[in-house]
Amino acid sequence: MKTIPPTDTTPNTGRYYWRGLEQLAETPEFKQFLEREFPENAGDFSDPVSRRHFVKIMSASFAFAGIGLGATGCRRPEDKLMPFGKAPEKYVHGTAQSYATAMLRRGGAIPLVAKSYEGRPIKLEGNPLFPDGNGGSDRFVQAAILDLYDPDRAMRFKKSGTAVSASEAFDFLSGVANKFAANQGAGLAFLGERTSSASRRRLHQEIARKLPQAKWYLYDAIDADIHTRAATKAFGRSVKPIFRCDVADTILSLDCDFIGEEEDAANNIRRFTSRRKIETPKDQMNRLYAVESLFTLTGMNADHRLRVSSSAVLQVAAAIAAELGVNVGTLASSGGASLDQKWISECAKDLRASGGKALVVAGFRQPLAVHLLVAAINEKLGAIGKTVELIEAPEPISADLAQLAASLNKGEVDTLVIVDANPVYNAPADLNWTATQRKAKTVIRLGYYEDETGAAADWHFPKAHFLESWNDGRTSDGTLVPVQPLIAPLFDGLTDLEFLARVAGLSEINPYKIVQATFAAVTGDRSEAGWNRFLHDGFARGTGARKASVSWSSGSLREALAAATSAPASKDNLEVVLFRDLKLDDGRNANNGWLQELPDPITKLVWDNAILVSRKTARELGVQNNDVVEISVGDKKVIGPIWTQPGMADYTLGIALGYGRTKTGRVGIGTGFDAYPLFNTKTGYVVTGAKVAKLAGKKYPLSCTQTHWSMEGRSIVREANLEQFKSHPDFATRMNAPVPPNPDPNDPHWPKPIYPNPLDNPKYRSSMHQWGMAIDLNSCVGCGTCVVACQAENNIPIVGKDLVARGREMHWMRIDRYYSADPKKRTWGLSTKTETFKRDEEQQFDEWIDDVQAVNQPMLCQHCEAAPCESVCPVNATVHDHEGLNVMVYNRCVGTRYCSNNCPYKVRRYNYLDYNKRPLKELKGPFYTPPFLHSTDGEWDLKRWWRDHESGMRTQDEWDLIKMLKNPDVTVRMRGVMEKCTFCVQRIESAKIAQKVKAGESGDVVVPDGTIKTACEQACPAGAIVFGNVADPESRVSKLKAQQRNYSVLDFLETKPRTTYLARVRNPNPAMPDYTEAPFTFEEFAKNNGDPFAHHGGDQTGKAESTTGKGGH
């Protein structure tokens, strides 16, 4: 029995957000925990109650190691920190722990592993054990951890806008429950968002049993459910299609950004790119056709792209269907001459030629008719069951928002309970939601933020983050996965399960028990071992949805086609395409600074949305970038800035939803403009008949991380067509710069780098580990997940919009995106009056941007062996280690910035200001106005500063909260210090230490291949990034580097980068009208440097060999 320190008698004045822990600390279980030498069942987790409490206690005590023993807790700064007298079993202080959990999304849950330090979750990764996955994830997963520690999240129970105590709020809920228990729920309506939670569904059914009169409604501004609805209609049973891009040889996307905007994009990326990882010229790869209005990630990665307005996609679909022999009635001929008939027929031919291995997909913003046409095409191609898997989907049990509006208008709703959904912000404009919602007598809301809907509600309850709550979910293929908490709710938040159970007055309100009961119900496994395995693995084997055997019926199609009308957009009939933002989703991530500052994968804009238009549209409208225009459709108006986007369809105005929030946290306020006023139930996401009026003289500054679009014929991203790859497998090295003649034939180190290569000396190459990375440009789709993953792993701060405009963004890793066009259409090169030498702002007027190809390249520190940065640092702050890493000594850096000037890859980032401590208001402006000229809120800035130096700064409480997010293995850099990618040296070192411990006497200290994954590599859904030991010829990275597509960027500088790229290969169809023998970047290169295939490659090959020979593998 250990000695229990006396109870702290100081008044209980801890920070309010630790109340949850305080209460926890008073529970008998916790007191017992303190008294026992070992916590009850801490080792084997056999008892569910103590397991749950163990997790809670982990959170409570490990995070704030002293507070548990103080027994009042929650007063970290004042309390004496005491060590564990006896540590819980298997707990090693300072070592991260991982728990399986999941993130619920409208398309299905994403199985995750959360990494936790001292009870603080700090990083999320995909669950590598999950069979239908590769451990990759997406942007939203990577950024979700930031929301957990968001000081702006809802943290109070509020009644009519004033905070009330938790007990008062719970009393109110029991009052509601009692009231409706009496009348079977008449007048009670629930509004939620689409979720895959199995417990939620079970609870829903239980509530329906208890309160049969209560109504359920679902609303999602992004309606990804249309795929299921269309399949259900086409196949006559409730089925959900799964697109097997990994099976498909030929894919046609009809306005479907299946690797970007669509749900389940991470899985689609993994499946799609699995067919593009070719090793030898003999390998086959898939081919992607894209028909779209916006330039999307799918279009960027397509082999052929047809740009048409979204309203014309129906005609394209009909034309293709007609080519394939589907009876589409009169629709087939309605497109007329405006469509590229050859493109369509050749595409259809190619689809047919693929046998059953063709796949056609339609985007969620397309009307039902297109989806039904696609089902018919897939049926005709024999793709159903092969590339389109139909799985059983549960019958929908809720009605939609329009029906709720009707019900509200009729006065049938007494109490409206809103879970998560934010209809006041994102409901279709024609429902006039703010007024409609008020027709309910009482509106109760559970929300993560006190947002627009929260402010309009009578009661607001704070919702727990998913890392704070018990729940479960189903992945896109229906597998049951647990959502486990890693930390006790920081601000007393409720899970939606508990909240709903309380509202309905159910007997079981403990979400843990609800989830456990669901697990038992779904799997039929009531054993502890089964439950524990479920939690340990993070999924329940064999719970995936069954494949449905269904048959297609043509009736639905005929019906839909009869109703379908379509008119392509034109100058007089402008079309607005509202799209899901790749960062903010429907607006829910508006307060997430990482996502706000993540460059949009296409436009590279940050912190804003814009009205995307093609060059031709902009010219005809008489507008240019940053001009503010007013778009009106009927009586609805939206005001926003213009941004010319290459590759956009003419007469289409693309606007991302999710911006212009009026009530959210302080980060998200004031970014972009709200496009929901144009969104309505009738026209959906594609709104035609828009009018555009330029607001004279008004400009809005947009921040973009990449201002130059063209690669200018340089061999930075190297690509070739599959045919070229077959005839010249060494095309990538042929694009190396010519080597100057060797003055000394006996010199093996020719050509010589300017800077010495310490690793030429065998003494320095002695380490068993030589780290290197290979990035496959053929599988990188440019989604940006790695950028956020790097930010989360390495404590990278955000800098705000005005500083991005200044080029001060801090991302260690960026995705360079280059547009290329047929060089014949460009006036460029080194002669006078070429586009090359224009200001970047003038690119928007160039004609070549109409039909572009795009390439992506993740760019991070290349870890050059002969590093230019190292020899120019006056204080030795950046040096080489014996494992080939270019390491940065933050403590030693004085910040002369010479290293960055001399870095040819420009991958070094400099802390120009103390980004970790910047005032919030500086995230969005003012744009470098001198404080003696500028005033805020009518007060002179200098005076404001004089009055209050701390104005706009976060409070200490908030800093403390944000600090919990930081990865303790990575230094938080101060201002004036240069920083850059370290190849996640913290992961390397911990793996090396672990291996040394494991090796013990055996001396086998070489870390096995694949043990170390850099954050970017781990997050990449495509598996495009591979890191490892290049000294081991059997490692994955060595094998990739041995491929013929391997090359280094800026090879001619002889910096010998350890990061190399595998050149891209396109797979165009020679029969297509837009076929070119070589990709545009290749032609641009050939025009500047001569055809790399023209000269015989004796010395070229020799050069290639010598380069690879010294490249370190």
Partner 1 sequence: MSEVATQIKVPPVPAGLEREPLVNNNRSFGWISDRVSLITEGKTPKWWWAAFVPSIILLGLLGAMLFYQINTGVGVWGNHHPTMWGWDIINFVWWIGIGHAGTLISAILFLLRQRWRTAVNRAAEAMTIFAVMCAGIYPAMHVGRVWFDWWLFPIPTYQGLWPQFRSPLMWDVFAVSTYFTVSLLFWYVGLIPDLAMMRDRAKTKIKQFFYGLFALGWTGSNRHWSNYEKAYLILAGLSTPLVLSVHSIVSLDFAVSQLPGWHTTIFPPYFVAGAVFSGFGMVLTLLIPLRSMCHLEDIITMRHIDVMCKVTLATGCIVSYAYIMEFIIAWYSGSAMEKFHFMNRALGPMWWGWVMMMGCNMVVPQLFWFKKIRRNLVVVFILSIFVNIGMWFERFVIVVVGLYREFLPSSWDYYKPTWVDICTYLGTFGLFFTLFLLFMRFLPMIAVSEVKGVTPQADPHHPAAGGNGGHH
Determine if 871 is a binding residue for partner 1 (CB under 8 A): yes
d(CA 576, CA 735): 42
CB of 503 to partner 1, least distance (A): 50
Determine if 1053 is a binding residue for partner 1 (CB under 8 A): yes
Residues 514 and 508 sit within 8 Å (Cβ to Cβ): yes
- Candidates 20-28, 362-370, 635-643, 871-879: pick the segment binding partner 1 (CB under 8 A): 871-879
Give alpha helix (H) positions in 36-148. Answer: 48-57, 63, 67-70, 139-148
CB of 138 to partner 1, least distance (A): 23
Determine if 910 is a binding residue for partner 1 (CB under 8 A): yes
Determine if 1050 is a binding residue for partner 1 (CB under 8 A): yes
Residues 429 and 680 sit within 8 Å (Cβ to Cβ): yes
CB of 1049 to partner 1, least distance (A): 8
Q: What is the 3-state secondary structure (H, E, C) of 217-283?
A: EECCCCCCCHHHHHHHHHHCCCEEEEECCCCCCEEEEECCCCCCCCCCHHHHHHHHHHCCCCCCCCC
CB of 912 to partner 1, least distance (A): 3
Pick from 751, 976, 1008, 1097 the residue near partner 1 by CB under 8 A.
976
Determine if 894 is a binding residue for partner 1 (CB under 8 A): yes
- Which two three-digit tokens encode residue 966? 């930081």
Determine if 853 is a binding residue for partner 1 (CB under 8 A): no
d(CA 320, CA 314): 10
- Which two three-digit tokens encode residue 294? 């916006």
Pick from 409, 971, 1089, 1106 the residue near partner 1 by CB under 8 A.
1089
- Candidates 318-326, 452-460, 889-897, 1032-1040: pick the segment binding partner 1 (CB under 8 A): 889-897
Residue labelled with tokens 């801090």 = 810
Strand intervals (E) in 396-469: 399-400, 415-419, 442-447, 459-462
Check residue 680 and report its DSSP letter: B
Question: Phi-psi region for residue 876, left (φ > 0), alpha (ψ -120 to 50) or beta?
Answer: left
- Which two three-digit tokens encode residue 615? 């060059």
d(CA 826, CA 1087): 11
- Which two three-digit tokens encode residue 1033? 């010829």
Residue labelled with tokens 């793996």 = 991
Determine if 867 is a binding residue for partner 1 (CB under 8 A): no
Q: Of 329 and 895, which CB lies nearer to partner 1 in the complex structure?
A: 895
Determine if 750 is a binding residue for partner 1 (CB under 8 A): no
Determine if 977 is a binding residue for partner 1 (CB under 8 A): yes
Q: Of 771 and 828, which CB lies nearer to partner 1 in the complex structure?
A: 828
Determine if 534 is a binding residue for partner 1 (CB under 8 A): no
Q: Of 611 and 859, which CB lies nearer to partner 1 in the complex structure?
A: 859
For residue 723, with 0-12 CB atoms within 10 Å meaning exposed, 13-18 middle and 19 or more buried, which class applies?
Answer: middle
Determine if 699 is a binding residue for partner 1 (CB under 8 A): no
Determine if 888 is a binding residue for partner 1 (CB under 8 A): no
- Within 10 A of 821 (CB to CB), how many other CB atoms are there? 24
Residue labelled with tokens 């409070």 = 955
Determine if 837 is a binding residue for partner 1 (CB under 8 A): yes
| Among the listed residues 11, 66, 12, 63, the one whose alpha carbon sits nearest the alpha carbon of residue 34 | 66
**1030: Cβ contacts below 8 Å, ≥ 6 apart:** 770, 771, 772, 884, 1037, 1038, 1041, 1058, 1112, 1113
Pattern 916-945, partner 1, x by CB under 8 A: ------------x-x---------------
Determine if 816 is a binding residue for partner 1 (CB under 8 A): yes
d(CA 996, CA 989): 10
| Among the listed residues 220, 302, 221, the one whose alpha carbon sits nearest the alpha carbon of residue 255 | 302
- Candidates 506-514, 550-558, 829-837, 1003-1011: pick the segment binding partner 1 (CB under 8 A): 829-837
Determine if 710 is a binding residue for partner 1 (CB under 8 A): yes
Q: Of 166 and 974, which CB lies nearer to partner 1 in the complex structure?
A: 974
Residues 101 and 108 sit within 8 Å (Cβ to Cβ): no
Q: Which residues pair with 815 in a beta bridge?
A: 858
Determine if 873 is a binding residue for partner 1 (CB under 8 A): yes
- Candidates 200-208, 577-585, 633-641, 887-895: pick the segment binding partner 1 (CB under 8 A): 887-895
Residues 418-447 that bind partner 1 (CB under 8 A): none
Pick from 45, 84, 764, 898 the residue near partner 1 by CB under 8 A.
898
Pick from 526, 541, 892, 943 the residue near partner 1 by CB under 8 A.
892
Pick from 541, 749, 906, 998 the residue near partner 1 by CB under 8 A.
906
How many residues can be counted in the chain? 1113
d(CA 1049, CA 546): 47
Pick from 405, 893, 923, 1026 the residue near partner 1 by CB under 8 A.
893
CB of 825 to partner 1, least distance (A): 18
- Candidates 209-217, 246-254, 576-584, 706-714: pick the segment binding partner 1 (CB under 8 A): 706-714
CB of 925 to partner 1, least distance (A): 14
Check whether the bond before 131 is cis (ω within 30° of 0): no
- Within 10 A of 546 (CB to CB), how many other CB atoms are there? 8
Q: Of 588 and 817, which CB lies nearer to partner 1 in the complex structure?
A: 817
Determine if 311 is a binding residue for partner 1 (CB under 8 A): no
Q: Of 552 and 915, which CB lies nearer to partner 1 in the complex structure?
A: 915
Q: What is the 3-state secondary structure (H, E, C) of 346-358?
A: HHHHHHHHCCCCE
* Integer angstrom CA distances of residue 1088 from 718, 819, 856, 1046, 1077: 14, 16, 21, 22, 17
Q: Of 48 and 976, which CB lies nearer to partner 1 in the complex structure?
A: 976
Size of the site for partner 1 (CB under 8 A): 70
Determine if 701 is a binding residue for partner 1 (CB under 8 A): no
3-state secondary structure of 640: strand
Determine if 876 is a binding residue for partner 1 (CB under 8 A): yes
Q: Of 67 and 759, which CB lies nearer to partner 1 in the complex structure?
A: 759
Pick from 714, 734, 863, 1113 the residue near partner 1 by CB under 8 A.
714
- Candidates 8-16, 75-83, 671-679, 828-836: pick the segment binding partner 1 (CB under 8 A): 828-836
Determine if 830 is a binding residue for partner 1 (CB under 8 A): yes
Pick from 302, 582, 803, 1037 the residue near partner 1 by CB under 8 A.
803
Determine if 619 is a binding residue for partner 1 (CB under 8 A): no
Q: Which residues in this chain contact partner 1 in the complex, by CB under 8 A?
A: 706-712, 714, 716, 737, 754-755, 803, 806-809, 814, 816-818, 830, 832-834, 836-840, 857, 859, 868, 871-876, 892-898, 900-902, 904-906, 909-914, 928, 930, 974-978, 1049-1050, 1053, 1088-1089
